[in-house]
Amino acid sequence: MATTYNNLYLDTRNRLRAAGVDAAQLEARELVCFALDKTREQLYRDMNLYVTAQQEARVEELVQRRLAGEPVAYLIGEWEFYGIPLDISREVLVPRTDTEVLAQRAIQLLQQAGDGARLLDLCAGSGCIGLAAAVNAPQSRVVLADWSEGALRICRQNVRRNNLNARVTCVRADAREPAPSALWDFDVIACNPPYIPSGEIDALDPDVKDYEPRMALDGGPDGLDFYRDIAGKWASALRLGGTLLFEVGAGQAPAVEEILAKNGFTGINTLPDTHGIWRVVEGRIDA
């Protein structure tokens, strides 16, 4: 019996759901769109059309890889963050909804700073935070910084993809070393650093530990190495009154608040994500 696009989508969704995939509906749509080379709008328009055997086989291959643990973003080579389309590869973490809290706070601060506001996205990965800020605070200028050449390649692709070359630049920088003199006078530094304790990485879900880059996960023995180094070595890159924003793991907020306080930051504040987990810690440099 011939299979329609709609039946193929529903079957994919049901298989992912049965396997315990939380976002089964979203992932099924993205896999089917990619396999059929259709936009979401085209998929919805053509739901009653029939798929070919070749198309069905292509979807099946992708579903098998997903069920084996490979994240959809790596399968299709892209993902959306804060409404922005991004190229994604296994050189970078898959952007997560939790990180949108960090992006939102960065955007608020840039909007408050007004024309010419400057943001540094440190440990940028795909560049998702800085690019979301650039799109939503169009008066700002943004620098994406990462140590990984693979990550910087994806950053550059995403700058071009979103037509932001005029306001966003990419540089190589080691977050654990002192801020280079060329990086200074930022209103905001936003950072989602590696924060998983080294000994806990092998216990993570397979789609994380087996596929995402370990250097973007490993935060040292207690998960706090990057927070200590950045708070201690990057304050000089902020202008007076500038804010350092960190994403933190579950339960890490109190320790990161203490790290900021010990390094002279004031106005320390913590924000929850959509699940009620304390996710973003911020501090200001006033002197």
**Beta strands at 266-272 and 278-284: parallel, antiparallel or unpaired:** antiparallel
**Is 80 part of a structural domain of the chain?**
no
**Is 274 part of a structural domain of the chain?**
yes
Domain boundary among 35, 52, 68: 68
Same domain for 261 and 122? yes
Same domain for 182 and 103? yes
The pLDDT, as a whole number, for residue 149 is: 97
CATH, residue 189 = 3.40.50.150
Q: Find, among 241, 252, 250, the residue nearest to 287 by Cα.
A: 241
The pLDDT, as a whole number, for residue 2 is: 78
Same domain for 52 and 153? no
Same domain for 105 and 37? no
**Is 241 part of a structural domain of the chain?**
yes
| Number of domains into which the chain is organized | 2
The pLDDT, as a whole number, for residue 1 is: 61
Same domain for 175 and 276? yes
Pair of tokens at residue 180: 């280079």
Same domain for 135 and 177? yes
For the segment 131-177, what is each residue's pLDDT rounded down to a tens digit?
999 999 999 999 999 999 999 999 999 999 999 999 999 999 999 99
Number of Cα atoms under 13 Å in the Cβ half of residue 180: 12
CATH, residue 21 = 1.10.8
The whole-angstrom separation of Cα 221 and Cα 163 is 40
The pLDDT, as a whole number, for residue 245 is: 98
In the block, tokens 């200590």 appear at 228
Same domain for 188 and 273? yes
**Is 81 part of a structural domain of the chain?**
no
The pLDDT, as a whole number, for residue 108 is: 98
Q: Are 231 and 260 in contact (CB under 8 A)?
A: yes
Q: Are 130 and 245 in contact (CB under 8 A)?
A: no
**Is 83 part of a structural domain of the chain?**
no
For the segment 83-139, what is each residue's pLDDT rounded down to a tens digit?
999 999 999 999 999 999 999 999 999 999 999 999 999 999 999 999 999 999 999
Strand partners, 78: 87
**Is 143 part of a structural domain of the chain?**
yes
The whole-angstrom separation of Cα 76 and Cα 70 is 11
The whole-angstrom separation of Cα 12 and Cα 19 is 11
The pLDDT, as a whole number, for residue 100 is: 97
Q: Are 141 and 117 in contact (CB under 8 A)?
A: yes
The pLDDT, as a whole number, for residue 50 is: 93
Same domain for 49 and 124? no
Same domain for 180 and 124? yes
Q: Which domain holds residue 9?
A: 5-68
3-class DSSP string for the chain: CCCEHHHHHHHHHHHHHHCCCCCHHHHHHHHHHHHHCCCHHHHHHCCCCECCHHHHHHHHHHHHHHHCCCCHHHHHCEEEECCEEEECCCCCCCCCHHHHHHHHHHHHHHHHHCCCCEEEEECCCCCHHHHHHHHHCCCCEEEEEECCHHHHHHHHHHHHHCCCCCCEEEEECCCCCCCCCCCCCEEEEEECCCCECHHHHHHCCHHHHCCCCHHHCECCCCCCHHHHHHHHHCHHHEEEEEEEEEECCCCCHHHHHHHHHHCCCEEEEEEECCCCCEEEEEEECCC
**Beta strands at 141-146 and 278-284: parallel, antiparallel or unpaired:** unpaired
For the segment 29-54, what is each residue's pLDDT rounded down to a tens digit?
999 999 999 999 999 999 999 999 99
Q: Find, among 110, 160, 162, the residue nearest to 137 by Cα.
A: 110
The average confidence (pLDDT) of the chain is: 96
Same domain for 154 and 17? no
**Is 84 part of a structural domain of the chain?**
no
For the segment 198-231, what is each residue's pLDDT rounded down to a tens digit?
999 999 998 899 999 999 999 999 999 999 999 9
Q: Which residue has the higher pLDDT, 22 or 9?
A: 9
